[in-house]
Structure formats: C-alpha cells, structure tokens
C-alpha cells in the first residue's frame, strides 16, 4: 500500500467532471479528503491523502495529469516561527486539517504539528510570514 498527501488543482474546464469517482472506481484507490474548495475563477482545489497499490497509484496520477489536473505532492514540513506569529488567527480560516486552531478560553492560536498535512495554504495567508516550509521529508 502506498499513500501520499496531494494537492490537486482542477482547471475550470474539468471542475464538474467525475474525476475523483473514476480515480476510485478505475484505479482502486482510496482517499481521505481534507479540503475541497472552488476559487473565484471557478477552479477547484482539493487536499487529500491518496492511497492504494503502488502501480495503481502511479496510473491514477497519470490519469489525473492526463485529465488536466495539476498534482502537487506534499513533501515538505511546515513549522511556525513563534517569534513572528502575533496570534492574529488569519491562518485558522485556511487550514484544512485543524492543525492551526483557536483554543478557548484564552483564544490562543495553536499550531499542532502532528495534524499538519504540509499543504502550505497557511503560508501565503499569514501576514507575518510566520509559517515556514522546511526540508523535504520525501522525494517529490
């Protein structure tokens, strides 16, 4: 069994096609969806863990790319620079896994590294540039 965290970008032309359905049905892959969104340009974004037999996995990625989907393997680690973070909370709105969240009652913005999928969505969202991408942990 092979598993990887992926960020998939669907161009507007294919966003309404049953691409994920075919990925499961034709390539026998399983997925755990962490985030799905459509941006104002009507492009789709999905963050998911995809798993299956290595051969099926490779063929599934080939199918995705052939269908026009941009596939990015998440192969980095994201950390928070605590000196830069000023606890504004902006990042919690984009974090698909809940790794960045607000804890009550003191409303502290917590970064829980174990829940981070390294999707990097928080990096451009942080006004203080506190979320940093570190060394690769897997081959891309």
Q: Contact 47/35 with Cβ under 8 angstroms?
A: yes
Nearer to ligand SF4, 57 or 117 (CB): 117
Cβ 14 to ligand SF4, closest distance in Å?
A: 24
Residues 6+ apart with CB under 8 A from 41: 12
Q: Which one of residues 14, 24, 67, 128 is an interface residue with ligand SF4 (CB under 6 A)?
A: 128
48 near ligand SF4, judged by CB under 6 A: no
| DSSP category for residue 68 | T
Q: Which one of residues 32, 39, 90, 136 is an interface residue with ligand SF4 (CB under 6 A)?
A: 90
Q: Which one of residues 2, 26, 89, 137 is an interface residue with ligand SF4 (CB under 6 A)?
A: 89
Give the span between the Cα atoms of 28 and 54, in whole angstroms.
11
Cβ 132 to ligand SF4, closest distance in Å?
A: 10
Buried b (16+ CB within 10 A) or exposed e, 43-76: bbbbbbebebeeebbebbbebbeeeebeeebbeb
Indicate the helix (H) or strand (E) that contains 77.
strand 77-80
23 near ligand SF4, judged by CB under 6 A: no
6 near ligand SF4, judged by CB under 6 A: no
Question: Considering CB under 6 A, how many residues would be counted as binding ligand SF4?
Answer: 27
Q: Contact 60/102 with Cβ under 8 angstroms?
A: no
Which residues would be at the binding site for ligand SF4 (CB under 6 A)? 78, 80, 85-91, 94-97, 99-100, 109, 116-122, 126, 128, 130-131
């Amino acid at each position: 069994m092979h598993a990887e965290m992926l960020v998939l970008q669907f161009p507007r032309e294919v966003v309404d096609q049953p691409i994920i359905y075919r990925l499961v049905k034709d390539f026998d892959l399983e997925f755990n969806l962490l985030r799905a969104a459509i941006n104002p340009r009507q492009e789709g974004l999905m963050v998911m863990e995809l798993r299956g037999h290595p051969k099926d996995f490779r063929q599934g990625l080939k199918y995705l790319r052939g269908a026009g989907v941009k596939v990015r393997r998440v192969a980095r680690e994201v950390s928070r620079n605590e000196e830069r973070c000023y606890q504004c909370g902006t990042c919690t709105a984009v974090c698909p896994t809940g790794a960045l969240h607000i804890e009550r009652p003191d409303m502290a913005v917590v970064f829980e590294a174990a829940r981070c999928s390294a999707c990097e969505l928080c990096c451009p969202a942080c006004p203080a540039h506190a979320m940093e991408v570190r060394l690769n942990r897997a081959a891309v």
